Amino acid sequence: MILLSSFVFGLVFGSFLNVVIYRLKTRQNIVFGGSFCPECKTRLSWYDLIPLLSFIYLRGRCRYCHKKISWQYPIVELISGLLWVLVFYKFGISLINIYYLFVFSLFLVTAVYDFKWRIIPDKIVYPAIVIALIYNLFNTLSLFVAFAAFLFFFLIFYFSSGRAMGLGDAKLALLIGLFLNPLSAVVAFALAFVIGAVSGIILIGLGKKTLKSQIAFGPFLVLGATIAFFLSDFISNFVSFL
């Protein structure tokens, strides 16, 4: 029941994250104002906004103008629901879950925003950095790893004039370094580069990208951080075994 409830709450919160993603781009108020179709601007009723179910019932189209609804909406809701389940499965009912879910929610918004517009929004990353910094204020090793990661990504950004890496990626790396334990952070960055490289090769092979094409790296950083976070015990045990 706890996991089922967490999944439902995660779906609902994922619906709110979709609002955040959309209104960050359009610079609308995130908290106030009802939801509406981005195509026909018709105000949506509560039964149009049931996470996942409304999308399935409406067959992925607006009830009013019949334009296609972006797959982003159910995907973000589903990922949010699964993240809530994984957090509660790993830690049970705990106050620390608020911190973890807060950061993961901002990770999700950042990944989608960067994927769509190749921008990592400061309004999302900065609050997460502040919270994570306060949480790790006396963890010297985590602070060192976090700022070392920021410096590493910043140097790539600086010497490539922003072509190989964006400044937002350096800020996101700082957040990941603060959020994860030092060992998991290193694994997260390694996974991000490996998954990003493999994805790039696949996209080039499919003719979707060229060697000169830019690919948003934020989603790979978030994916690497998520994998490393939930496999942190396995990573620690594996290193101890070695």
Q: Which of 213, 129, 224 is nearest to 168 (CA)?
A: 129
Q: What are the tens digits of pLDDT across the range 125-166? A: 999 999 999 998 888 898 999 999 999 999 999 999 888 889
pLDDT at 215: 87
C-alpha distances in Å from residue 7, one per residue of 68, 81, 95, 102, 222: 26, 4, 17, 15, 20
| DSSP 8-state secondary structure symbol assigned to residue 61 | B
Q: Which of 19, 13, 16, 129 is nearest to 82 (CA)?
A: 13
Six-digit token string for 92: 């049970």
Q: What one-character-per-residue DSSP string does 166-215 give?
A: -HHHHHHHHHHHHHS-HHHHHHHHHHHHHHHHHHHHHHHHTTS--TT---
Residue 5, Cβ neighbours under 10 Å: how many? 12
Residues in the chain: 242
Q: Which of 96, 100, 39 is nearest to 73 (CA)?
A: 39
Q: What are the tens digits of pLDDT across the range 55-107? A: 999 999 998 998 999 999 999 999 999 999 999 999 988 889 999 999 999 99
Q: What are the tens digits of pLDDT across the range 172-221? A: 999 999 999 999 999 999 999 999 999 989 988 888 887 677 789 999 99
Residue 171, Cβ neighbours under 10 Å: how many? 22
pLDDT at 164: 86
